[in-house]
Amino acid sequence: MDRVLSGSSFCLWAIAAQGGALLYRETNSCLGALLDTRPLVGAHARTTGPRVERDYGVVYGDAVSGAPWFFAMSYSKRIVCLANSRKHSGRCVAGKELTQNPQLGDWVRPVSARPKQELSLAEQRYTNGEEAQLLDVIDIILEQAVPSGHQVENHLVDTAHRWVKVGVLAWHDLDAALDQFNGSLWVDGHSSYNGTNDRIPLAQCAEVGSSLVLMEVENLVLSVALEGLQPKRTVRARFSLGTKAYALGVTDPVIAASYLGRAEGDYVVGRAKLCISLGEPYDGYCYKLVAGVMTP
């Protein structure tokens, strides 16, 4: 038996590891359940208000109020970081899962439980204090999938665990992970004053079914210019895919900081791989953003 967890208003639960299964059984008039899961991640437990936490998940319940019990199972995903962009006062991180093949699979966007789901700066740092960088290979502990509208790739982070960097992927190894361009980036034909094909009306956003793509372009130009009613220096990515031209805002903080330090104008980059994200609704639209810029 691993240990018995208890709290002021909790039923007592005995937890035992039996191979790959976790057995939850009652020890004080509480209903138990048998869940098949991956092996335990660790052995530390703590009580925090109305829940008991372990390294692999969270047991919720209240024996006094009679509120139902349920168990939130944490799980680990290994991703290649393809975006670590600005979002409100924090960050939006996204990447593709590195499977055992090894191949790059589905998109994963780790999010927080905050209203706008942004990560704090601390939540995307490693134990040594360094921030997650593009092309880092990272192990992340997550609590559950939390799709939100067209952002179906969202997973809630387990904040009890720091992220672990396990390597760095080479730029050319992303070739197999590129998404196919099918003639448009979700929905085209809607442009802001300074952009080109850079937004989608809110009514159409629910139909797109995804919010992240990885594209390779041959003619990237980064433009620095004053934009907005209250003019602000902005970096915009200009490129073409097929016969379509695009001019999208850049939220990659490394690229933005580098180019905002230069004079206003157009800067030819050429070949690049771009992580393009479809943001949350804003003033009736969802905006396409270049969240990560990766060059050879």
Q: Residue 284: is its pLDDT beyond 60?
A: yes
Residue whose entry in the numeric block shows the structure tokens 């139902």? 68
Last residue of a domain, one of 56, 73, 90: 73
Do 254 and 182 share a structural domain? yes
Do 192 and 167 share a structural domain? no
What pLDDT is recorded for position 28? 33
| Cα separation, 132 vs 43, whole angstroms | 27
Do 135 and 34 share a structural domain? no
Do 65 and 79 share a structural domain? no
Top-confidence residue, 50 or 270: 270
Do 83 and 69 share a structural domain? no
Do 155 and 90 share a structural domain? yes
- CATH for 189: 2.40.50
Do 276 and 193 share a structural domain? yes
What pLDDT is recorded for position 206? 85
Do 267 and 188 share a structural domain? yes
| Cα separation, 211 vs 186, whole angstroms | 9
Q: Residue 141: is its pLDDT beyond 70?
A: yes
pTM of the model: 0.77
Do 60 and 39 share a structural domain? yes
Q: Residue 288: is its pLDDT beyond 60?
A: yes
DSSP string, 220-250: EEEEEEEETTTTEEEEEEEEEETTEEEEEEE
Model confidence pLDDT, tens digit, residues 271-280 = 999 999 999 9
Residues contacting residue 285 through CB under 8 Å, at least 6 positions apart: 190, 192, 199, 200, 201, 202
Residue 67: pLDDT band (50, 70, 90) is: low
Do 283 and 198 share a structural domain? yes
Q: Residue 158: is its pLDDT beyond 50?
A: yes
Q: Residue 11: is its pLDDT beyond 60?
A: no
| Residue 34: domain span | 3-73
Last residue of a domain, one of 31, 53, 73: 73
C-alpha closest to that of 32 among 64, 65, 9, 5: 5
Query: And the tokens for 97?
Result: 């899962």
Do 81 and 68 share a structural domain? no
Do 278 and 213 share a structural domain? yes
Average pLDDT of span 276-296: 96
State the chain's mean pLDDT as an integer: 81
H or E, element range at 224: strand 212-227
Count of Cβ atoms closer than 10 Å to residue 243 Cβ = 6
Overall domain count for the chain: 3
Do residues 278 and 253 make contact, with C-beta atoms less than 8 angstroms apart?
no
Do residues 286 and 199 make contact, with C-beta atoms less than 8 angstroms apart?
yes
Last residue of a domain, one of 73, 93, 122: 73
What pLDDT is recorded for position 65? 52
Q: What values do phi and psi take at 254, rounded to 5?
A: -70, -45
C-alpha closest to that of 266 among 219, 198, 231: 219
Residue 72: pLDDT band (50, 70, 90) is: low
What pLDDT is recorded for position 102? 67
Model confidence pLDDT, tens digit, residues 167-212 = 999 999 999 899 999 999 999 999 999 999 999 999 999 899 999 9
φ/ψ bin of 167: left (φ > 0), alpha (ψ from -120 to 50), beta (otherwise): left
